[in-house]
C-alpha cells in the first residue's frame, strides 16, 4: 500500500481537552512532568522517590491517552521491532535492548508488590502464534536472535502448544514462540497507583490543564505556559506521546500517530492463561482477571492503516475482524458477545527506537532543563518503567545510573527525516 509521505508526519495537533475551570496550578515547581500516561506516571514516581517534588500536569484524566487504551501485554521481545531496535541500541554502546525491556518487566513485578493494591501483574508468559509459512520462518528467526541475547524463549509446535494453550485451535497454527517471562498488567492500576505513590512522597497532580508551550529563557527551560497560566520550573519532562509535536514541532519528522483499535468480550469461562499475539504483534489479546477477553490490532483494515491519524474515533470495519480472529483461533469464543470497543493513538518512532533524554532543538542543540520521552512505538509496558526511572535519575542526579540512556538520545532524530522502518515485516491481510 503506497501512502503519501505526509501521512507519516501529519500537521501536529494538541491533545483534545475540555479544561477544568477549578484546576489550581502552583506558580512554581521544581520539575514539571507533562502528561499522566504510564511514562509520565513512572517518571513522577521515580522523581518523587529521588527526593524531588514533581508537578504532573495532565490535560485530561490520568490514562486518558494510550495508557488507558492498551491491551496490557508486557512483551520483553518487542514484537517485530526487536532486530532493528537492538541493532540501534548496540550501535549506541548497549549490550542489548533486552537489558532495558527485561528491566522494565522486573520493575513491573516489583511494583505489584510495592504499590498498595498492586497493578494486577500476572506473569503468565506470552505465545506468539505463526499462522503462515512466512510467519513461522520469522518467529523461528526471532526466537534464535532473542535467545542468543539471553531471553528465555522457545519455539513450540502442535503437541506442546496443545498443553500450553489448550483453547487455541492448534490446526490453524504452524508454530508458536513461547516467552515465559512476559506478563500482563492492568494499565489503569499502573498509572493511578504510581501517581498515588508519588503523591504520598510530595508530588502534585493537576488535571484538566493543557500545557501550550515550553518556556525557554537564555537557552534553557524556564517552565511551561498552560491553559491556566505559567508555571516556572527548573526542569520540564514532556511525556506526551503522539501529541508531542504540538509542543516540539521537529518531533513531527520522527514520530507518527497511528490509530489502533481494541474490542472487549463479555466474561467467558474458558481460561486463556497467556497473552497472545499473531503476525508480529499486529494483533494481540489477553484475558482479564474478570474473564473478559480483550483483543487489539487490525490496523491494516483501518482507513490508510490508521497511519497519520489523530482521531480516536472507532472505524466500524475493524471490530468485526478482531472478533473473527478471536473465534478463528479460539473456537469456543466464536459466538462470544463483544461488549465494548475503543481506539487509541500509538506513537511510532521512524527508526522504531523511542526518544528519551535531554530535549534538543532541530539542529541538535540541547535545551538544558528540558527532557523528552515519546515514540514508544506500541510497547509502553517494556519501555515506560525503565525510561521513567532513567529519566528521573538524569533529572535528579544529572546522569542515568541504572543503564545508559544513550540508545534513546533524541538527537538521533533531530533535523532528519528518516523513512519509517516499521512497515515491515508483516502487515497481515484483511479476511474476505
Ligand X SMILES: Cc1cc2nc3c(=O)[nH]c(=O)nc-3n(C[C@H](O)[C@H](O)[C@H](O)COP(=O)(O)OP(=O)(O)OC[C@H]3O[C@@H](n4cnc5c(N)ncnc54)[C@H](O)[C@@H]3O)c2cc1C
Residues that bind ligand X in the complex, under the rule CB under 6 A: 14-15, 34-40, 57-60, 64-67, 69-74, 210-211, 239-241, 243, 247, 260, 262, 284, 296, 344-346, 376, 378-382, 384
Q: Residue 409 Cβ, how far from ligand X at the closest point, in Å?
A: 17
CB 336 within 8 A of CB 291: no
CB 181 within 8 A of CB 102: yes
In our burial notation (b when 16+ CB lie closer than 10 A, e otherwise), range 332-367 reads ebeebebeebbbbbbbbbbbbbbbbbbbbbeeeeeb
Residue 418's alpha-carbon distances to 89, 91, 395, 405, in angstroms, are: 17, 17, 28, 21
CB 26 within 8 A of CB 328: no
Residues in CB range of 342: below 8 A, 6 or more apart: 69, 261, 262, 312, 314
Q: Residue 315 Cβ, how far from ligand X at the closest point, in Å?
A: 13
Q: Residue 157 Cβ, how far from ligand X at the closest point, in Å?
A: 25
Backbone phi and psi for residue 406, each to the nearest 5 degrees, phi listed first: -50, -40
> Which of 38/130 has CB closer to ligand X?
38
- Measure the CA dihedral 300/301/307/310, to 10°: -140
d(CA 65, CA 198): 20
> Which of 111/170 has CB closer to ligand X?
111
Nearest CA to 179 out of 136, 209, 210, 139 is that of 139
Question: Which residue reads 473478559 in cell numbers?
Answer: 292
> Which of 66/396 has CB closer to ligand X?
66
Q: Residue 187 Cβ, how far from ligand X at the closest point, in Å?
A: 7
Q: Residue 218 Cβ, how far from ligand X at the closest point, in Å?
A: 23
> Which of 39/48 has CB closer to ligand X?
39
Q: Determine the distance from the C-alpha atom of residue 124 to the mean position of all C-alpha atoms in its chain, rounded to a whole number.
A: 19
d(CA 295, CA 282): 11
Q: Residue 57 Cβ, how far from ligand X at the closest point, in Å?
A: 5
> Which of 9/75 has CB closer to ligand X?
75
> Which of 55/170 has CB closer to ligand X?
55
> Which of 63/170 has CB closer to ligand X?
63
Q: Residue 136 Cβ, how far from ligand X at the closest point, in Å?
A: 23
Amino acid at each position: 500500500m503506497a501512502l503519501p509521505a505526509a501521512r507519516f508526519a501529519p500537521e501536529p495537533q494538541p491533545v483534545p481537552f475540555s479544561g477544568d475551570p477549578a484546576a489550581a496550578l502552583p506558580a512554581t515547581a521544581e520539575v514539571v512532568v507533562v502528561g499522566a500516561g504510564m511514562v509520565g506516571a513512572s517518571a513522577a514516581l521515580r522523581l518523587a522517590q529521588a527526593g524531588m517534588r514533581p508537578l504532573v500536569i495532565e490535560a485530561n484524566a490520568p490514562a486518558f491517552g494510550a495508557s488507558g487504551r492498551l491491551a496490557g501485554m508486557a512483551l520483553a521481545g518487542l514484537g517485530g521491532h526487536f532486530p532493528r531496535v537492538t541493532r540501534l541500541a548496540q550501535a549506541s554502546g548497549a549490550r542489548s535492548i533486552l537489558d532495558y525491556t527485561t528491566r522494565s518487566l522486573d520493575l513491573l513485578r516489583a511494583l505489584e508488590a510495592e504499590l498498595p493494591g498492586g497493578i494486577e501483574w500476572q506473569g503468565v508468559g506470552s505465545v506468539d502464534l505463526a499462522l503462515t509459512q512466512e510467519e513461522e520462518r520469522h518467529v523461528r528467526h526471532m526466537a534464535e536472535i532473542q535467545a542468543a541475547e539471553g531471553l528465555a524463549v522457545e519455539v513450540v509446535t502442535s503437541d506442546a502448544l496443545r498443553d500450553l494453550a489448550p483453547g487455541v485451535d492448534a490446526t490453524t497454527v504452524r508454530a508458536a514462540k513461547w516467552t515465559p517471562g512476559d506478563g500482563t498488567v492492568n494499565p489503569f492500576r499502573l498509572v493511578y497507583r504510581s501517581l498515588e505513590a508519588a503523591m504520598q512522597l510530595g508530588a502534585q497532580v493537576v488535571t484538566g490543564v493543557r500545557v501550550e508551550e515550553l518556556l525557554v529563557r537564555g537557552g534553557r527551560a524556564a517552565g511551561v505556559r498552560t491553559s491556566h497560566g505559567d508555571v516556572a520550573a527548573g526542569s520540564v519532562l514532556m511525556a506526551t506521546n503522539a501529541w508531542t509535536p504540538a509542543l516540539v514541532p521537529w518531533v513531527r519528522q520522527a514520530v507518527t500517530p497511528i490509530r489502533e483499535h481494541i474490542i472487549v468480550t463479555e466474561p467467558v469461562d474458558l481460561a486463556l492463561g497467556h497473552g497472545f499475539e499473531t503476525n508480529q504483534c499486529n494483533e494481540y489479546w489477553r484475558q482479564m482477571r474478570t474473564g473478559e477477553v480483550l483483543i487489539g490490532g487490525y490496523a491494516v483494515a483501518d482507513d490508510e492503516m490508521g497511519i497519520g491519524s489523530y482521531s480516536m474515533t472507532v472505524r466500524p470495519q475493524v471490530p468485526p475482524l478482531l472478533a473473527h480472529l478471536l473465534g478463528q483461533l479460539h473456537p469456543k469464543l466464536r459466538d462470544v458477545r463483544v461488549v465494548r470497543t475503543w481506539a487509541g493513538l500509538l506513537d511510532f518512532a521512524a527508526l522504531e527506537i523511542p526518544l528519551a533524554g535531554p530535549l534538543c532543538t532541530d539542529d541538535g542543540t540541547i535545551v538544558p532543563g528540558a527532557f523528552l520521552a515519546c515514540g514508544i512505538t506500541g510497547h509502553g509496558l517494556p519501555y515506560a518503567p525503565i525510561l521513567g526511572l532513567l529519566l528521573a535519575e538524569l533529572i535528579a542526579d544529572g546522569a542515568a545510573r541504572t543503564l545508559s540512556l544513550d540508545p534513546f538520545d533524541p538527537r538521533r532524530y533531530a533535523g532528519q527525516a528518516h523513512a519509517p522502518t516499521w512497515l515491515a515485516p508483516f502487515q497481515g491481510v484483511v479476511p474476505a
